[in-house]
Structure 1
Amino acid sequence: MILASIIAAVVVSLALCWRNRHRGTGIRLETFRTRMKIIFLVLAVCGLCSKAVVHTFRHFNPPPPPIIGP
C-alpha cells in the first residue's frame, strides 16, 4: 500500500513537471521542484518511521514458536 502511494506521487510529480516545463514558466518550475523535494523528504521520513514502528512492534510481540513434532 505504501509503495503504491509512493509510485503514484512520483507519477503525478513527473506529469506536473512535464506540464510546467512546456509552459515556459521558470519561476513556477523552481518552486515546484522545491516543493517536490520537500514532499519526497517527508515520504522518506514517513517510510523510515513506519519501518521503525513495525520493527518495534515485532520486537515486543514476536510470533509464537512453530510447533514441531507429532
Structure 2
Amino acid sequence: MIHAVISAVAAVSLALCWRSRHGDSRIDAFRTRMKVILLVLAVCGLCSKAIVYTYGHFNPPPPPIIGP
C-alpha cells in the first residue's frame, strides 16, 4: 500500500515538473508549492514506515499461549 502511494506521489511530482515555456507565473508558483507539499508527504510516508518497522523489530508480539 505504501509503495503505491509513494509511486503515485513520484508520478505526480514528475508530471508537475514538466513546464510549458508559455506558462503563467501563478501556475509556476502553484507547481512549486505542490512539489514541496508532495515531497514533504513522501518523506513523511517513508519516515512513518521506518518508525513502524523499527518499533515492530524491537518489540515483537508475545508468543501465543498454547495450552490444554
Which of the five TM-score ranges fits, normalised by the shorter chain? Answer: 0.5 to 0.7
Structure 2 portions without partners, runs of 5+: 62-68
User: Could you tell me the percent identity over the aligned residues?
Assistant: 28
Which position in structure 1 is the counterpart of 2:13?
13
Q: Is the 8 A contact 1:6 1:43 kept in 2?
A: yes
> How many positions carry a matched residue from both structures?
61
Q: TM-score when scaled to structure 1?
A: 0.63
Moved over 4 A (4+): none
Q: How do 1:1-70 residues align onto structure 2 when only pairs under 5 Å count? A: 1-18=1-18, 21-22=19-20, 23-61=22-60
Q: Is the 8 A contact 1:13 1:36 kept in 2?
A: yes
RMSD over aligned Cα, in angstroms?
Answer: 2.2
Structure 1 portions without partners, runs of 5+: 63-70
